[in-house]
């Protein structure tokens, strides 16, 4: 894992980590949820680009004894890469600057462990990985030299892995406040169908990675009525990401 | 397929006026009398020994065991024996034999094999999934009965089970915390609530026991069930077949015990069917007209039966 994190620094994808303490009932059991996550980050491959994603997902987890939990998510996400088609060649112009593609499926797996220091405070650790099951593709047209062109850019095999430590405090009404540091790594392959002079991406796979490997997260988990809970979380590394999930514990 | 269902619908409405009997000691109803006054009922059992248990019959068997007791006095019901005209008994018996063979020769063996391979928890999840997909029929039935609280409950169930029940595979709505119970109603019951009689007894091939009134439910269910819109038709058939096998795998043995206990399973099933449907309609009526306890108790089964 350390080798991965020292290879190159950079990031995308992600998703909330949730409270360190398992959401499942203490006696053990399943919980499910639906969530939304707004993600922004900066990745680079020579040039830095801002990326933005909106994820909607379904979440299912299983845990027991307030000690451990495993979970999975499946959802859809869009992807926008700002200035992906900016040309460095004055003879090449494109009809748009940004790469945009709508809903593609992704899957996430995660696990966490928790240790209660006392009735109020606790500490936990987690690991979480996401993989996009489909490629993102966007067409771009323009003029290179005096020749018109049309090509498409593919973002393939987008994945990430995150791990971190969370510190939790339980407030009245069983509201859980938590925060902690995390490190992450993500990468994808970018591939332009045809080489166009002046465009950053070229034919063949170009690996793009997150710019920064570390960040911090904080959130609150609020019990609602009748077994429902709401988790709101924010993460900050290069940019702020945030989201909410409403879960139901069986 | 839709044309066929349309024909069934037309036929059903044309025959809706046929009534079933209220008296237990009546004799077999002749076909000619079935369209006039409340007819007598078939009580003579034939020697036919085999019974089919298609979906609806199995439903009768399993659900009659469960929680249908609210607002219904079973002792009173036991005193009365709801009956139904059976003017096409020879045809019904033939269909019943066909369904019986279909069950024992095809459905049951497949369901047993499926039962051995797939764990019960997974089969229950599949059942939950298809039950969740049947939300439109229950929702529309509640609306047609002006049961707005039932419609809201169904809508809530559908939303919660779809979102937090992983597409309906789980049923968190039925947990005691949420307590949003499935509204056990259909279009046939809706007609019953509005006073439409059952008519006479029909055994549909594959579908099983029914009546002209309840056949409306079959047609309505077809159009309100999202699975019906799957294309091509053979995929639809496969999905429906799988649903049936899954449901059967959860009820293997119920039909056999009913059949073993009956002298004439055809008669036993027919009686069970009509009483089951009657009870369902009565439950809906009582739910829709919340009244004082004395008013409830004054609703004798006789009056209920006559309405049906």
pLDDT at res. B184: 87
pLDDT at res. B42: 34
Question: What is the C-alpha to C-alpha distance for residues B34 and B199, in angstroms, rounded to an integer?
Answer: 8
Among the listed residues B206, B203, B255, the one whose alpha carbon sits nearest the alpha carbon of residue B102: B206
Distance from CA of B210 to the nearest CA of A (A): 38
**How would you write B199-223 as a 3-class SS string?**
CECEEECCCEEECHHHHHHHHHHHH
The answer to whether B153 and A13 are in contact (CB under 8 A) is no
Instruction: Provide, as residue numbers in chain A, all residues whose Cβ is less than 8 Å from the Cβ of B160.
Output: 248
Burial of A90 (0-12, 13-18, 19+ CB in 10 A): exposed
Expressed as residue numbers, the domain containing A177 is 2-249
pLDDT at res. B292: 53
Task: Indicate which CATH number applies to the domain containing A238.
Answer: 2.40.128
In the structure, what pLDDT confidence band is assigned to residue A204 with cuts at 50, 70 and 90? confident
In the structure, what pLDDT confidence band is assigned to residue A140 with cuts at 50, 70 and 90? confident
pLDDT at res. B239: 95
Contact A32 B160 (CB under 8 A): no
The residue written with tokens 């109020």 in the block is A120
Burial of B304 (0-12, 13-18, 19+ CB in 10 A): buried
Question: What is the C-alpha to C-alpha distance for residues B214 and B273, in angstroms, rounded to an integer?
Answer: 11
The answer to whether B48 and B97 are in contact (CB under 8 A) is yes
pLDDT in tens, A33-68: 999 999 988 887 777 888 899 999 999 999 888 889
Question: Best residue in A32, A74, A230, A244 to probe B by mutation, most B CBs within 10 Å?
Answer: A32
The residue written with tokens 């166009």 in the block is A196
Tell whether B177 lies on the interface with A, counting CB pairs under 8 A.
Answer: yes
- Nearest CB to B166; choose among A60, A226, A247: A60
pLDDT at res. B298: 47
Contact B172 A226 (CB under 8 A): no
Element (H, E) at A147: strand A147-171
The answer to whether A24 and A48 are in contact (CB under 8 A) is no
- Nearest CB to B177; choose among A58, A226, A247: A226
Q: In this model, does residue A102 exceed pLDDT 80?
A: yes
pLDDT at res. A13: 52
Question: Best residue in A73, A107, A248, A249 to probe B by mutation, most B CBs within 10 Å?
Answer: A248
For residue B289, give Cα distances in angstroms to A113, B155, B188.
54, 22, 18
Average pLDDT in the A236-245 region? 90
pLDDT at res. B290: 65
Contact A226 B178 (CB under 8 A): yes
Tokens, residue A106: 């992704």
Expressed as residue numbers, the domain containing B145 is 2-307
Question: What is the C-alpha to C-alpha distance for residues A2 and A24, in angstroms, rounded to an integer?
Answer: 30
Contact A32 B170 (CB under 8 A): yes
Range from A21-35, A71-85, B32-46 carrying the lowest mean pLDDT: B32-46
The answer to whether A198 and A92 are in contact (CB under 8 A) is yes
Tell whether B170 lies on the interface with A, counting CB pairs under 8 A.
Answer: yes
Instruction: Provide, as residue numbers in chain B, all residues whose Cβ is less than 8 Å from the Cβ of A250.
Output: 170, 172, 175
pLDDT at res. B156: 93
Tokens, residue A244: 């909410």
pLDDT in tens, B195-241: 888 889 999 999 999 999 999 888 888 999 999 999 899 999 999 99
- Nearest CB to B165; choose among A32, A226, A247: A32
Instruction: Provide, as residue numbers in chain B, all residues whose Cβ is less than 8 Å from the Cβ of A245.
Output: none
- Nearest CB to B172; choose among A58, A246, A250: A250
Backbone angles phi, psi at A102, to 5 degrees: -90, -165
Tell me the pTM: 0.72
- What radius of gyration do chain A's Cα atoms show? 20
Question: What is the C-alpha to C-alpha distance for residues B207 and B89, in angstroms, rounded to an integer?
Answer: 16
Distance from CA of A59 to the nearest CA of B (A): 8
The answer to whether B218 and B205 are in contact (CB under 8 A) is no
Low-confidence spans in chain B with pLDDT less than 50: 1-80, 295-308
Tokens, residue A78: 């869009």
Question: What is the C-alpha to C-alpha distance for residues B227 and B233, in angstroms, rounded to an integer?
Answer: 10
The answer to whether A166 and A18 are in contact (CB under 8 A) is no
pLDDT at res. B116: 94
pLDDT at res. B32: 33
| % pLDDT > 90, chain A | 45
The answer to whether B111 and B248 are in contact (CB under 8 A) is yes
pLDDT in tens, A111-135: 999 999 998 999 999 999 999 988 9
Question: Best residue in B157, B164, B177, B178 to probe A by mutation, most A CBs within 10 Å?
Answer: B164
pLDDT at res. B82: 64
Tokens, residue B1: 């397929």
Total tally of structural domains belonging to chain A? 1
- B73 CB-side CA count, 13 A: 13
Total tally of structural domains belonging to chain B? 1
Count of beta carbons in the 10 Å neighbourhood of residue B171: 22
| DSSP states of B134-192 | THHHHHHHHHHTT-HHHHHHHHHHHHHHHHTTTTTTS-GGGSTTT--------HHHHHH
Chain-centroid distance of CA B295 in Å reads 28
Q: In this model, does residue A166 exceed pLDDT 60?
A: yes
Question: Best residue in A71, A75, A227, A229 to probe B by mutation, most B CBs within 10 Å?
Answer: A227
Strand (E) positions, chain B? Answer: 202-204, 208-210
Contact B164 A30 (CB under 8 A): no
In the structure, what pLDDT confidence band is assigned to residue A234 with cuts at 50, 70 and 90? very high
- Nearest CB to B177; choose among A30, A60, A227: A227
Contact B178 A247 (CB under 8 A): no
Q: State the DSSP code for B178.
A: T
């Amino acid at each position: 894992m350390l080798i991965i994190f020292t290879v190159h620094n950079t990031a995308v994808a992600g998703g909330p980590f949730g409270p360190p303490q398992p959401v499942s009932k203490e006696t053990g059991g399943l919980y499910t949820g639906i969530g939304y996550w707004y993600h922004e980050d900066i990745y680079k491959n020579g040039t830095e680009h801002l990326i933005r994603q909106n994820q909607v997902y379904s979440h299912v987890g299983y845990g027991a004894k307030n000690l451990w939990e495993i979970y999975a998510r499946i959802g859809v996400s869009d992807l926008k890469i700002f200035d992906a088609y900016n040309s460095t060649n004055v003879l090449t112009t494109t009809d748009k600057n940004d790469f945009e593609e709508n809903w593609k499926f992704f899957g996430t797996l995660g696990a966490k462990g928790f240790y209660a220091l006392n009735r109020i405070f606790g500490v936990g650790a987690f690991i979480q990985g996401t993989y996009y099951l489909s490629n993102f593709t966007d067409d771009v047209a323009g003029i290179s030299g005096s020749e018109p062109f049309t090509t498409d850019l593919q973002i393939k095999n987008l994945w990430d892995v995150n791990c971190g430590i969370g510190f939790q405090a339980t407030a009245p009404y069983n509201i859980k406040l938590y925060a902690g540091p995390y490190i992450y790594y993500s990468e994808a392959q970018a591939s332009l169908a045809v080489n166009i002079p002046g465009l950053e991406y070229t034919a063949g796979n170009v690996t793009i990675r997150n710019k920064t490997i570390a960040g911090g997260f904080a959130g609150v988990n609020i019990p609602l009525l009748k077994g429902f809970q709401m988790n709101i979380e924010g993460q900050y590394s290069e940019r702020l990401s945030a989201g909410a999930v409403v879960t139901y514990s069986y | 397929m839709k044309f066929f269902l349309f024909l069934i619908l037309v036929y059903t409405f044309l025959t809706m006026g046929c009534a079933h009997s209220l008296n237990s000691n009546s004799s077999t109803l002749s076909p000619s009398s079935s369209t006039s006054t409340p007819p007598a009922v078939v009580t003579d059992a034939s020697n036919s020994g085999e019974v089919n248990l298609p979906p609806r019959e199995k439903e009768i068997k399993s659900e009659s065991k469960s929680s249908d007791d609210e607002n219904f006095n079973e002792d009173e019901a036991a005193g009365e024996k709801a009956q139904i005209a059976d003017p096409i008994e020879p045809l019904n018996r033939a269909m019943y034999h066909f369904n019986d063979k279909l069950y024992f020769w095809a459905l049951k063996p497949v369901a047993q094999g499926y039962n051995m391979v797939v764990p019960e928890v997974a089969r229950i999840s599949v059942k939950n999934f298809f039950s969740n997909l049947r939300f439109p029929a229950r929702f529309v039935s509640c609306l047609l009965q002006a049961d707005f609280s039932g419609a809201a409950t169904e809508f809530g169930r559908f939303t919660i089970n779809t979102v937090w029940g992983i597409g309906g595979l789980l049923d968190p709505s039925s947990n005691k915390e949420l307590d949003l119970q499935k509204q056990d109603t259909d279009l046939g019951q809706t007609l019953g609530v509005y006073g439409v009689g059952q008519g006479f007894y029909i055994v549909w091939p594959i579908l099983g026991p029914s009546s002209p009134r309840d056949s409306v439910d079959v047609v309505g269910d077809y159009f309100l069930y999202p699975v019906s819109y799957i294309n091509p038709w053979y995929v639809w058939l496969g999905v429906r077949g799988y649903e049936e096998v899954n449901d059967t795998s959860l009820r293997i043995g119920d039909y056999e015990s009913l059949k073993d206990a009956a002298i004439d399973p055809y008669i036993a099933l027919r009686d069970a069917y009509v009483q089951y449907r009657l009870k369902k309609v009565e439950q809906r009526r009582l739910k829709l007209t919340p009244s004082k306890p004395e008013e409830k108790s004054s609703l004798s089964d006789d009056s209920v039966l006559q309405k049906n």
